[in-house]
Chains A and B, each alone.
Chain A
Amino acid sequence: MSEHIVLMTQGLRKSYGKLRALRGVDLEVYRGEIFGFLGPNGAGKTTTIRCLLDLIRPDGGTARVLGMDPQADPVAVQARTGYLPGELALNDNLTAERQLRFFADMRGGKVNWAFVQQLAERLELDLKRPIKNLSKGNKQKVGVIQALMHRPELLMLDEPTSGLDPLMQQEVLGLLREAKAEGSTVFFSSHIMSEVETVAERVAIIRQGKIAEVAATASLVDRGLRHATVRFKEAVDSHILDRVPGVQVLSRDDGLNVLLQIEGEMDELIKVLGSFPVSYLDTARPSLEEVFLAYYEAGQDREEAH
């Protein structure tokens, strides 16, 4: 395994009885990147992460984390990893501070407490309050702090901003960027496309236990469908646009306004438009959400065809 690959799976499979949660997941995450793991509920995001931390045992395939087999040496993997579960459960009888001190002790006390306090301040978390009196968002902050507090080489976060208000979501995403700047690798799952688009350099889309796509976030968005509105100075015969590769005319208004759907690069379209008197051109960049939905719809279509 190459040194710059921090996390790798090949053909990872896991079933719960008859339910095939993972059907051969192939992934590679590189050192120092922020990697988004996208998929709807039940697609296999959490199961993949839990296999990588030896919380559950895969039925087949290979997994390597920081060059190690998590099943053979789970303690070494866990020592260098920070984990935030998707379903965070804490001890209600403890204060946030006691809970975090417990996690610090479980790491052999190798935690800088001043850093914990700094994180709590940034996330506006009162460490003296009992867990049972904390809101879901504040409990999530405890989870985020315990994942970050030992400055791990690798962060595996399952829905890290779940339950947080928008301001705190931004703060947590900021913490992830800072962790990356300090050399950590961040692997996080989410179904909030906008946050993945904001921070992740690469994303994987998982669909029904298989990776549907792995790509740089920007290129994935670029490859998506765009909509463009063109307004001409005078009425024109725009039927030539129907013949431009990757372009579909969605509507025409008296030859003055045209709504287009464009797939792929726009170079050919711009050249054709150059021969027309164009007064206005507006293109809308597709969101990762639209790209994601397109993958899902395409996948479902393929399955139905089979």
Chain B
Amino acid sequence: MLTTLRYTLAQLRGQILGWGLGIAALGLILVPFYDVFMEQQADFMQMLESYPPEFLAFFGGDAASMATPGGYLGMYGFSMLPVIVGIFAVIVGSGLLASDEESGRLDLIVAHPASRAALFWGRLAGFVVSTVAILILGWLGFSVLLGGSSLDVSWGEMALPFLPVLAQVLIYGTLALLCSMLLPARRLAAMVAGLVMVASYFLSSMVTLNESLAAVARFLPYHYFQGSEAMNGLNLGWFLGLMAASAVLALLAWWRFQRRDIRVGGEGGWRLPSLTRGLRRRAEAQ
């Protein structure tokens, strides 16, 4: 498993740097910009109040809360982070095994004496470590200029909103992984997981405008995204609940990977899992 983890991290190192430094750059811009924002607060507030409420809801805030550090960071930074880093999660999660499988490489890899479990968990661990590394780089970018800013947020407080982001990203990544184990193609798996992610964001954001959407949104991950509010205290129930849901998705994907054929070109495509196939085989064996 450690060998697989090492090679997965080596393969993802470019993505870790790219996504991590990108988020860090966002923080390096947002934090000093807060002082400018506060200096011209009246003008900004006037401008924000002129926006339609749907626009503000889309960015996860309202004009009144914008003047607070949490509201400012939430609206410009954290509200979108699950979707931004979620794109990384969906791409990597859907391709964690299916990418090598579609290219025909997995056949030879699985023929080596590392169990399927070791391969699966090694690669998943590589994905989790990469996500954490991206968020740590992002957190450093958001924190390094805090000393010279009037945000009045400590490094520790700034770390807290990254935990709900991590929970969101892991759930989209593991969902994409599970889809790649069930659906006939990696692209389809990425599309389904991406659709869930975007729908989750839209519906949950719009709940402030239309409360009837809450009935649907409560079944979607973003509904349980705390964002910058975590700086005032992390909602452990939501955080652990989402982490547990990710673990369940990962376990289902592993269960499926353990039992399925490794696909190579010309030998038939993946099939949707059949509940009756196992029973039929058992009956034939008897």
Contact yes or no, A89 B103, CB < 8 A:
yes
Interface size class of B (residues with CB under 8 A): 20 to 34
Q: Return chain A residues, CB-CB under 8 Å to B237.
A: none
Name the residue on B nearest A83 (C-beta): B111
Name the residue on A nearest B105 (C-beta): A89
Task: Please report which residues of chain A, range 54-76, place their CB below 8 angstroms from some CB of chain B when the two chains form the complex.
Answer: 54-57, 59-60, 74-76
Contact yes or no, B261 A85, CB < 8 A:
no
Contact yes or no, A87 B114, CB < 8 A:
no
Contact yes or no, B3 A87, CB < 8 A:
no
With a 10 A CB-CB cut-off, give which of B105, B108, B264, B268 has the most chain A CB atoms.
B108
Contact yes or no, B115 A83, CB < 8 A:
no
For the complex, give the distance between the alpha carbons of A89 and B103 in Å.
Answer: 7
* A51 to B: closest C-beta gap in Å: 10
* B189 to A: closest C-beta gap in Å: 20
Known contacts A53-B111, A87-B264, A102 near B7 by CB under 8 Å: yes
Number of interface residues, chain A, beta carbon within 8 A? 35
Known contacts A102-B7, A106-B3, A87 near B265 by CB under 8 Å: yes
For the complex, give the distance between the alpha carbons of A43 and B252 in Å.
Answer: 35
Contact yes or no, B266 A87, CB < 8 A:
yes
* A17 to B: closest C-beta gap in Å: 6
* A81 to B: closest C-beta gap in Å: 8
List the 7 closest A-B pairs by CB distance, nearest first.
A16-B268, A89-B104, A79-B113, A106-B112, A56-B261, A78-B113, A83-B111
Query: What would be 28 A-B contacts, judged by CB atoms less than 8 Å apart?
Result: A19-B268, A21-B267, A21-B268, A50-B264, A53-B111, A55-B107, A55-B111, A55-B262, A56-B262, A57-B259, A59-B284, A60-B281, A74-B116, A75-B114, A75-B115, A78-B112, A79-B113, A81-B111, A83-B111, A87-B104, A87-B265, A87-B266, A88-B104, A89-B105, A89-B107, A89-B108, A103-B108, A106-B109
Given contacts A76-B113, A83-B108, A83-B111, 13 further A-B contacts (CB under 8 A): A17-B268, A47-B267, A53-B111, A56-B261, A56-B262, A78-B111, A78-B113, A87-B104, A88-B108, A91-B105, A106-B109, A106-B112, A108-B3
Which residues of B are at the interface with A, using a C-beta cutoff of 8 A? 3, 7, 103-105, 107-116, 259, 261-262, 264-268, 271, 281, 284-285
Which residues of A are at the interface with B, using a C-beta cutoff of 8 A? 16-17, 19, 21, 46-47, 50, 53-57, 59-60, 74-76, 78-79, 81, 83, 85, 87-91, 102-103, 105-108, 143, 146
